[in-house]
């Protein structure tokens, strides 16, 4: 496999070419709402690079850090917390780590979603080490860089203006102070900085408070465009990606590159940009609650299948992920079929990407999900299903959840309720227990030709007789699962 197969291989090979003893991969997220598929990409993409590096050379020392940007200001009420709007509004503008969890369960608003993120990352067997950015500030790791930026504020401001294409307001500073009285970070202005004692004076436009604070008090964060290259420097990052919004011309990546080179005197980490995850063309959004939350999705789709579908595309392509009943079943089929791809055969580009995506999150397929779903739909009892097919214990809980939550696709949502037939009796009589599902299926087509009745009509008639519906799972498979002799006894 070379770097043309998949973007993760291309990026891993770029890292290997750096020829370093230790490789550091960084990524970051603002945990301001429930984890959605876009947030999964934030840790999944670095994970993919990590796994390729390890496949290339298991001895390679790779560190991965996932920064939870918990000093970002609370700025919206997410769809899952609408009932707590009044509490949340009181804390608007405070850093997420200093805002309350409106339900009073977690230590802070940030902790609520950081905890969810941790759990979900664990389900994906993520190797990223999650770090609260507030811990890095509290350990004083940003202070010397903040001092550096404040001492050269005119140069820094000019770089930010030039790279963003935006004129910054008079009085702009790298420091965003946390107000000592009301706790807001989004309404303060730094008025003055004294480098001799690393102290700044600020005014809060929300509550009118004016005060002084030292960098070592750690009651501030840096403006995003400086914050980002600074954590990359602190953690000695070799690679960090971002969404297209950061990597567009005038985006924060352009600023970060310039800050690394012109102020920090180091080469920026390798960058890579990725597209959005879309649902019917719309961006998944945590505040508006568009799309299924990942915590709910993972009850009905195994994580490696979610991962596969986020990894099988080109990196910059937008990913359309629509978790409807039928589409999810097709996604599971697609994942399972990728297990059959032979890398030594002639493969299309799409097949190569699927092959890599599958192998990054591979699981041995014992029996297909669709097959288990069909048998469970027929028997509704695993002990009975076990008499007919091999079971994959892992899939069982998902299938049960599909039934519990009403997620079963229409074609599989049936009960065997046989009724006697008046038509096509000679067709049904011709079946015998030695026939495969495909034999049965073909026999219906042959019969339809022979009597010049459209096959669809015969199918509909038989579905009605077997399950009281106009359609269902593939007829041959259904009859095979039910047992030919049993069907003949029941409907003839």
Q: Which positions touch Zn ion (CB under 5 A)?
A: 179, 181-182, 204, 206-207, 209
56 or 209, CB closer to Zn ion? 209
211 or 262, CB closer to Zn ion? 211
Beta carbon of residue 72, minimum distance to Zn ion (angstroms, whole number): 17
Q: Quick one: tokens of 317? A: 């392509």
Beta carbon of residue 214, minimum distance to Zn ion (angstroms, whole number): 18
DSSP 290: B
Beta carbon of residue 181, minimum distance to Zn ion (angstroms, whole number): 5
419 alpha carbon, distance to own chain's centre: 46
Distance CA(452)–CA(472), nearest Å, equals: 23
Beta carbon of residue 262, minimum distance to Zn ion (angstroms, whole number): 34
184 or 218, CB closer to Zn ion? 184
Q: Quick one: tokens of 295? A: 């915590």
209 or 273, CB closer to Zn ion? 209
52 or 177, CB closer to Zn ion? 177
Strand, coil or helix: what is 73? strand
The DSSP bridge pattern shows strands 319-320 and 277-279 to be: parallel
Inter-residue contact 151 to 174 (CB < 8 Å): no
In three-state form (DSSP H/G/I as H, E/B as E, the rest C), the secondary structure along 298-366 is HHHCCHHHHHHHHHCCCCCCCEECCCCHHHHHHHHHHHHHHCCCCCCCCCCHHHHHHHHHHHHCCCCCC
94 or 353, CB closer to Zn ion? 94
Distance CA(438)–CA(69), nearest Å, equals: 55
Distance CA(21)–CA(13), nearest Å, equals: 14
Beta carbon of residue 199, minimum distance to Zn ion (angstroms, whole number): 18
Beta carbon of residue 93, minimum distance to Zn ion (angstroms, whole number): 9
Inter-residue contact 433 to 439 (CB < 8 Å): no
Distance CA(191)–CA(390), nearest Å, equals: 71
Give the residue from 3, 60, 8, 1 showing the smallest Cα distance to 307.
8
Question: Residue with structure tokens 């890095």?
Answer: 136
Beta carbon of residue 209, minimum distance to Zn ion (angstroms, whole number): 5
200 or 308, CB closer to Zn ion? 200
Task: For CA atoms 100, 129, 214, 230, give the dihedral sign.
Answer: negative
Beta carbon of residue 73, minimum distance to Zn ion (angstroms, whole number): 12
148 or 182, CB closer to Zn ion? 182
205 or 216, CB closer to Zn ion? 205
Beta carbon of residue 221, minimum distance to Zn ion (angstroms, whole number): 16
Strand, coil or helix: what is 103? coil
Distance CA(53)–CA(72), nearest Å, equals: 32
């Amino acid at each position: 496999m070379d770097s043309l197969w998949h973007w993760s291989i291309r990026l891993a090979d770029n890292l290997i070419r750096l020829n370093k003893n230790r490789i550091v991969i960084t990524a970051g997220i603002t945990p301001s709402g429930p984890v959605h598929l876009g947030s999964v990409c934030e840790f999944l993409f670095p994970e993919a690079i990590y796994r390729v590096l390890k496949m290339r050379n298991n001895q390679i020392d790779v560190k991965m850090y996932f920064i939870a940007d918990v000093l970002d200001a609370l700025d919206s009420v997410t769809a899952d917390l609408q009932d707590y709007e009044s509490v949340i509004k009181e804390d608007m503008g405070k850093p997420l780590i200093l805002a309350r969890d409106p339900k009073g369960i977690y230590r802070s608003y940030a902790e609520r979603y950081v905890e969810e993120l941790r759990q979900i990352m664990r389900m994906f067997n993520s190797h990223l080490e999650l770090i609260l950015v507030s811990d890095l500030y509290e350990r004083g790791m940003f202070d010397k860089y903040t001092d550096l930026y404040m001492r050269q504020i005119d140069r820094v401001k000019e770089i930010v203006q030039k790279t963003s294409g935006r004129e910054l307001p008079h009085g702009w500073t790298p420091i965003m102070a946390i107000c000592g009285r009301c706790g807001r970070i989004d309404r303060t202005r730094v008025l003055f900085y004294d480098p001799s004692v690393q102290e700044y004076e600020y005014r809060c436009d929300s509550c009118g408070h004016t005060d002084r604070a030292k960098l070592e008090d750690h009651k501030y964060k840096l403006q995003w465009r400086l914050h980002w290259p600074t954590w990359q420097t602190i953690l000695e990052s070799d690679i960090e990606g971002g969404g297209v919004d950061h990597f567009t011309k005038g985006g924060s990546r352009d600023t970060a590159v310039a800050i690394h080179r012109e102020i920090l005197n180091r080469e920026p980490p390798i960058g890579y940009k990725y597209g959005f995850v879309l649902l019917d063309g719309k961006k998944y959004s945590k505040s508006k609650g568009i799309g299924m939350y990942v915590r709910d999705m993972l009850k009905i789709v195994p994580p490696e299948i979610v991962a596969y579908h986020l990894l099988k595309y080109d990196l910059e392509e937008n990913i359309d992920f629509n978790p409807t009943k039928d589409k999810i079943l097709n996604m599971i089929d697609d994942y399972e079929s990728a297990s059959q791809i032979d890398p030594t055969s002639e493969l299309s580009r799409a097949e190569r990407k699927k092959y890599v995506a599958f192998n990054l999150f591979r699981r041995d397929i014992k029996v297909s999900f669709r097959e288990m779903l069909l048998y469970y739909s027929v028997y509704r009892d695993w002990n009975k299903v076990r008499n007919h097919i091999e079971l994959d214990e892992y899939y069982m809980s998902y299938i049960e959840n599909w039934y519990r939550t009403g997620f079963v696709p229409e074609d599989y949502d049936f009960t065997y309720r046989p009724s006697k037939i008046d038509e096509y009796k000679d067709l049904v009589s011709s079946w015998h227990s030695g026939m495969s599902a495909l034999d049965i299926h073909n026999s219906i087509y042959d019969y339809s030709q022979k009597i010049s009745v459209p096959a669809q009509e015969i199918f509909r008639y038989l579905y009605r007789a077997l399950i009281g519906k106009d359609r269902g799972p593939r007829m041959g498979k259904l009859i095979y699962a039910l047992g030919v002799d049993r069907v003949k006894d029941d409907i003839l």
